[in-house]
Chains A and B, each alone.
Chain A
């Protein structure tokens, strides 16, 4: 198409936008419109205060019809914002949407320059280059593709469970993948939840059961997503099934295996505050209800070495020969709900979290408070089991510290620290609870009332200031800090210290996200497509996000976001077919020498070599139109639609002329 001569001169219309003063403040928009009036190819030129407004769009529609335009240039903001708007306007006027060109004179001109004269000249050049391109634009039609109406949820915490249930209730099939032996995530480890103090397990376990019984949800626990290929509506997923060494369906939870297992190891469900056996059930309400043999700690998966558990299992559920296998699934959408982890206490050496058993993090204290925890809900300190007579709570441990740690607020710590202090005062009425804080942030329904109750009714002492150091003298922890309201140093003796550690991206999740090609922010949290207007979608089409994988948030917010993500998946699945941008890079068979350079350049695996014909072929659905192959192709066989070499050179010529 590039070497076709232009048969008939196009009639191009130019619309220059003021964007209030955003553009007009620096660029003389009237002059731009005027200078282009007689430019070759331009048959109509005007300017208007807000092109994106209703009257602005109507002007475009009316002008196309009246003046019989067959190409449009809107000189305005970045095409990421309003290209779609004007494509739609063109469609309404009966013009092919791919005849629309956006000349960016805001982000690339008026916003970054201060000299009016030079900015105006630059705007003229930018517009001229787009005229040159528009003259060669062709009519294109979107590529249509079917949708596979099944969703994959990665992560079986509260966000994954909520999203799974909502999507399944919409009537679509769901595959829920959880890397741990049971679903439940971090929420199942919590004791009470603020601000209503309902028991976390009591409100979560019904949801877990519901998910596990839902006819449209396929639960894959102890599985990990290995890779995802394909594109929105048509993903192929490879899922690793980790060997559990116990046949889920046969295990009747008699528990005999656990009794005879000689290997005692640290219990991760109880945050290392208790022990479990190498063959274990993570917690009594675990779903699926089955034992799991952790091969790392087992004496050797070998009846010669030990084999005690296998001997006592009446149901013959234990199978040492299980191997890792791969499950393949096809889905149309993916919800990333991979959760969070806590910032390591090692990073805060001055607080001694690694050194002293009685300095614990928030999740450890949740286990100490929990009725299903190692102490049955009685508050006892880990070192010697003594009931602590005083506890110091340190908020913002690692959060909001731009110089040394994490610059962001972890959002939930103010509330859960208030809850911790309140619970402690309820269970140890003569105990002294002291909280160090920077500010108390209680934005949320009924949150501030809860905090006020902690201070006023439960008499928790709040000190505004940071803790500098925690160390042990004899049996007691000494906490050094500062009270910034009085300007005095404070030293407090405590039996226990609870650090409200910052929330960080889930451990190991970066490898997965890299494989999924999902962008993250600088802290490794999944990035949303737009911080305000598209908060539950990834920029990568077909991927949605929910919960703390996206950033610190509390349970209500997580649930709301999960439901929102599920609704977005519903939007996608409700479409008859999906359309894919036609601005892809096809191959000109006659020019292609089959060198394969474009195949190595393609980040989307859209290009392959046809061995019979010796030329590259393109899967147009996979092609995202990035143009990497077109730039690399030595023979010019790879030409992007409406962005051909010819068009690029004519843009350059238009810009460099004079």
Chain B
């Protein structure tokens, strides 16, 4: 299976663990990931925060490129990229005027090559037919859990993992339409398919502090503390995330949490794809574990998750 994959900028810079583990896991599942040629940043938060239409050009340009390459699905892992691409796509689908204006912008900037000043004559409008899927949705709907289960090479022995959705993946429900934001199941079912036990805890869709980490670190520290405390209290041995920013706040911030909250005990944070790759038999060295502040090596050991013979 060949599929368009949008890693996003963070995965190419600070948080390569999510990218490499995704690639390794997909190899094991015979899914070939193709990056749209010349993809740019999705705009992170900005396309959604301003009413200006031009902000949508960045995400739509990516989707138009997928269309030009003949793709009908674009898969991402980063919750932020996912939200931006999906909501930008929906914004122009719902509003014919926006659709028209965005294509007018794209027509100009794609027709003229900025380097060679060469004019392209054939411009294909973005039709709004590319489906943006989170990798979790892709694994559930296109790959299917039975196929994942078939290929598991390690037994994770029902490791109690707390799924952390964060704020971006489920809300606003009408636009994201991924799962019920108040009682979601997507991540839980995925963890069970990989061989973990999903821990139910009330903070799975509370915010980790997100960008406030930059301007008001203490607020992010407290928000992250509450999430991790609740996960631990409910018996989790690790917290699984999908978003590089959640990873930053929940993992890198644990030293600050310990300073601020004396009762806090650390807990390793992992990407959902690291668990999958490991369970599918990928070598530990290829999981990007070096990027973790809180060591997660203990979770990925022969002892805790032995190989199974088919």
Contact = CB atoms under 8 A, between A and B. Distances in A.
- What are the 9 tightest A-B residue pairs by CB atom distance, in nearest-first order? A349-B182, A471-B202, A349-B183, A350-B182, A349-B180, A473-B233, A472-B202, A469-B202, A348-B182
Nearest to A472: B202
Interface in A443-494: 469, 471-474, 478
Contacts of B16: none
Interface string B226-245: 00001001000000000000
5 contacts: A348-B182, A349-B182, A349-B183, A355-B183, A469-B202
Which label, helix, strand, loop or mixed, suits the secondary structure of the B interface? loop
A471 to B, nearest CB: 3
B182 A473 contact: no
A126 to B, nearest CB: 36
Interface in A285-312: none
Interface residues of A, number: 12
Contacts of B202: 352, 469, 471-473, 478
Nearest to B182: A349
A474 B203 CA distance: 14
Interface residues on B, range: under 10
Interface string A194-230: 0000000000000000000000000000000000000
Interface of A: 348-350, 352, 354-355, 469, 471-474, 478
Interface string B195-228: 0000000110000000000000000000000000
Contacts of B233: 473-474
B200 to A, nearest CB: 8
A348 B180 CA distance: 10
A331 to B, nearest CB: 46
Contacts of A469: 202
Contacts of A349: 180, 182-183
B182 to A, nearest CB: 3
B165 to A, nearest CB: 13
B198 to A, nearest CB: 14
A473 B230 contact: yes
Nearest to A470: B202
Contacts of B230: 473
Contacts of A472: 202
A459 to B, nearest CB: 30
Nearest to B229: A473
A474 B233 CA distance: 8
Interface string B150-190: 00000000000000000000000000000010110000000
A537 to B, nearest CB: 39
B190 to A, nearest CB: 19
Interface in B64-123: none
Given A354-B183, A473-B230, A478-B202, 14 more contacts: A348-B182, A349-B180, A349-B182, A349-B183, A350-B182, A352-B202, A355-B183, A469-B202, A471-B202, A471-B203, A472-B202, A473-B202, A473-B233, A474-B233
A490 to B, nearest CB: 16
Nearest to A352: B202
Nearest to B180: A349
A62 B182 CA distance: 70
Contacts of A352: 202
B95 to A, nearest CB: 19
Contacts of A474: 233
A472 B200 CA distance: 11
A469 to B, nearest CB: 7
